[in-house]
Amino acid sequence: MDIVDALDARHGTICFVGAGGKKTTMATLARRLDRAVVTATVRIPIFDGWVAEVVVTEAPRDAIDAATAWPLGVVPAQERPDRYRGYDTATVADLAAVDHPVLVKADGARMREFKAPSDREPQLPETASTVVPIASAHVIGEPLTDDIVHRVDEVAAITGLDPGDEIRPADVAAVLASDRGGLKDVPADATAVPLLNMVDDADLEASARAVAAALHERADVPRVVLAEMRADDPLVAVV
């Protein structure tokens, strides 16, 4: 199994939520997929460097049909010099009709490594086939602070931790498995495949495996993927 199949990303609409590697994961998959489409339902930093072309358009299906260079990015507008705006979920849902894997950034994390969603997140299209909730393995053993965690209060509410407490494998699992966390608003027909990213040494792999074991106790997910998306071979393990 490679990283594409581990994340059920070869076909359909694949949505990425959480923190600790959404864009890196999307870039890794886009390079490995045949004719991938990259887009977002929320703001997304400029990503021209890891696709062949970005088309700014209110008609993404037309752009996809006319494309000759892949992977292709489609966005509705450039909001600022450093970021694009995302489409509404109905527009992205309509892309399920195209014969290409569609990779969708569906929430924000402000460059943190762990998060829980706000009331307005995630922005998942109803046609999502796979939802990938992500957390960085680097947060295990670190304190629950806004230096590395986006929305500390929401994470605390799910885990029972107090701000400043040590984040344990069970806490990461609790957030990823929660319908107030990584599994929030996942469509009934979609498959959730949690991802522990930044697993870049043996100690982190052991911690990530502990997260995976606790996650399987809490949620009915087919697998938990351990990866280091910056590596040439990003797949570490499937648990």
Q: What is the DSSP string of 19-85?
A: SSSHHHHHHHHHHHSSS-EEEESS-EE--GGGSSEEEE-S-HHHHHHH--SSSEEEESEEEETTEEE
For the four alpha carbons of 50, 54, 58 and 63, in that order, the dihedral sign comes to: negative
Percent of the chain with pLDDT over 70: 100
Q: Is the pLDDT of residue 121 over 90?
A: yes
**pLDDT band at residue 40 under the 50/70/90 scheme:** very high
pLDDT score for 143: 98
Q: Is the pLDDT of residue 120 over 90?
A: yes
- The topology under which CATH files domain 3-238 is Rossmann fold (3.40.50)
* Nearest by Cα to 102 from 2, 11, 229: 11
The string of pLDDT tens digits covering residues 164-218 is 999 999 999 999 999 999 999 999 999 999 999 999 999 999 999 999 999 999 9
Average pLDDT, the chain: 97
C-alpha 227/C-alpha 137 separation (Å) is 9
Contact assessment for residue 28 and residue 111, using Cβ atoms and an 8 Å cutoff: no
Which CA distances in Å does 233 have to 29, 151, 222, 224?
12, 32, 22, 17
The string of pLDDT tens digits covering residues 21-34 is 999 999 999 999 99
Average pLDDT over residues 143-158: 97
**pLDDT band at residue 110 under the 50/70/90 scheme:** confident
C-alpha 10/C-alpha 32 separation (Å) is 9
**pLDDT band at residue 101 under the 50/70/90 scheme:** very high
**In the 8-state DSSP scheme, what is residue 111?**
T
- Report residue 234 CA to chain centroid gap: 15
